[in-house]
Amino acid sequence: MKTAFLTGITGQDGAYLAKFLLERGYHVAGLVPRRSTVDRWRLDYLGIVDQVEYIDGDIMDVSSLIRGLKACKPQEVYHLAAQSFVGSSWEQPILTAQVTGMGVLHVLEAIREVDPFIKMYQASSSELYGLIQEPQQSENTPFYPRSPYAVSKLFGYWMTKNYRESFQMYACNGILFNHESPLRGFEFVTRKVTDAVARIVHQKQKELRLGNIAAKRDWGFAGDYVEAMWLMLQQNTPDDFVIATGKTSTVEEMCRIAFDYVGLNYQDYVVIDPALYRPAEVDILLGNPEKAKQELGWAPKTKLEQLVHMMVEADLRRVAKMS
């Protein structure tokens, strides 16, 4: 039986990946940082909360990573933990640099120390492209990060590549474009919209305040994307891959789909709030998943409409229970 060690197991991707690996017969161990309240709602939602081994530790504490790796002896490490919200990265830039940037080096060092043959997945991001240098972004497109979050991810990207080249470690960057689900954090725009739609339907909210609705993103379903993470670690040689749908839509279009689904007109509810604009914006992202298709045999399965409908339905059910 293979063992996988996940950082960020309580997050959106950690939960979906844990479920995916359990279904393939893995023993799944997850690093869980100390918090004042234990919250494993995502693992609970997927019905796997009791199937995972939890290891106390924090990616800012290398000794806890070393102890965790020694305890569970994994063949694969998926490093997903991060301060993952771009918006907060201007409010907490130093913490973001430490957790989202230095955290990657801590994981790489722990692996190098304990067993350099452990394979490692690094959760890189399409935010690296920022001020895009090509209309459709591939593994060869130059980066131009636009937030403290993206600059921190750039450090993690290069450290991962550097450890691969310096120490022959099997370390891969998955350059994932935005991926969403009913388990997405409420601060991200898609979830903010689908939660608002459900609350408006249940008369718990009257309007939805948004920032730049002209921004475009290449949105996919998190459940599809975790398979790509796993595939990256099953190859003969480590490499970096873009994971995306190859389609881009505005935030406004995403809103329209969500409100349409419940028979409402988004224009009656959306209020533009300049305070929600970002200091530096990523106007448009559009990924080219061709390399993943050719070399990993991976392709996205879920269209934007299906994804948004799935999220609205889940939020309608959840908000109805609160009534």
CB 224 within 8 A of CB 245: no
Distance (Å, whole) CA 200 – CA 216: 25
Nearer to ligand GDP, 62 or 311 (CB): 311
Site for ligand NDP in 109-128 (CB under 6 A): 123, 125
227 is catalytic: no
Q: Which of 16, 26, 149, 225 is catalytic?
A: 149
Which of ligand NDP, ligand GDP, none lies near 258, with the C-beta cut-off 5 to 8 A by kind? Answer: none
Which of ligand NDP, ligand GDP, none lies near 176, with the C-beta cut-off 5 to 8 A by kind? Answer: ligand NDP
Q: For residue 172, what is the DSSP state?
A: E
CB 153 within 8 A of CB 97: no
Residue nearest to ligand GDP (CB): 215
Distance (Å, whole) CA 104 – CA 14: 16
Burial of 168 (C-beta count, 10 Å sphere; 0-12/13-18/19+): exposed
- Is 210 among the residues that bind ligand GDP (CB under 6 A)? yes
Nearer to ligand GDP, 127 or 224 (CB): 127
Nearer to ligand NDP, 200 or 223 (CB): 223
Distance (Å, whole) CA 91 – CA 70: 36
Q: Which of 84, 125, 181, 249 is catalytic?
A: 125
- Is 235 among the residues that bind ligand GDP (CB under 6 A)? no
The per-residue DSSP string of 64-81 comes to HHHHHHHHH--SEEEE--
Tokens of 118: 């452990």
Site for ligand GDP in 242-301 (CB under 6 A): 251, 276, 278, 281-282
Judged by CB under 6 A, the residue of 28, 82, 198, 254 near ligand NDP is 82
Name the one range near ligand NDP by CB under 6 A: 75-83, 205-213, 258-266, 294-302: 75-83
Distance (Å, whole) CA 307 – CA 219: 9
- Is 35 among the residues that bind ligand NDP (CB under 6 A)? yes
Distance (Å, whole) CA 267 – CA 274: 17
- Is 183 among the residues that bind ligand GDP (CB under 6 A)? no
Q: Any residues with CB less than 8 A from the CB of 27 and at least 6 apart, and which?
A: 1, 2, 3, 4, 53, 72
147 is catalytic: no
- Is 43 among the residues that bind ligand NDP (CB under 6 A)? no
- Is 13 among the residues that bind ligand NDP (CB under 6 A)? yes
Q: Could you tell me which residues are beta bridge partners of residue 250?
A: 216
Q: Which of 76, 126, 127, 157 is catalytic?
A: 127
Nearer to ligand GDP, 17 or 270 (CB): 270
The per-residue DSSP string of 240-257 comes to -EEE--S--EEHHHHHHH
295 is catalytic: no
Sign of CA dihedral 23, 24, 25, 30: negative
Taking the complex as a whole, how short is the minimal distance between the CB of residue 35 and ligand NDP, in angstroms? 5
Which of ligand NDP, ligand GDP, none lies near 139, with the C-beta cut-off 5 to 8 A by kind? Answer: none
One-letter amino acid for residue 248 of the chain: T
Judged by CB under 6 A, the residue of 79, 153, 179, 192 near ligand GDP is 192
Nearer to ligand NDP, 39 or 207 (CB): 39
- Is 33 among the residues that bind ligand GDP (CB under 6 A)? no
CB 105 within 8 A of CB 60: no
Chain residues in the site for ligand NDP (CB under 6 A): 7-8, 10-14, 31, 33, 35, 58-60, 80-82, 84, 99, 123, 125, 176, 178-179, 185
Q: Which residues are catalytic?
A: 125, 127, 149
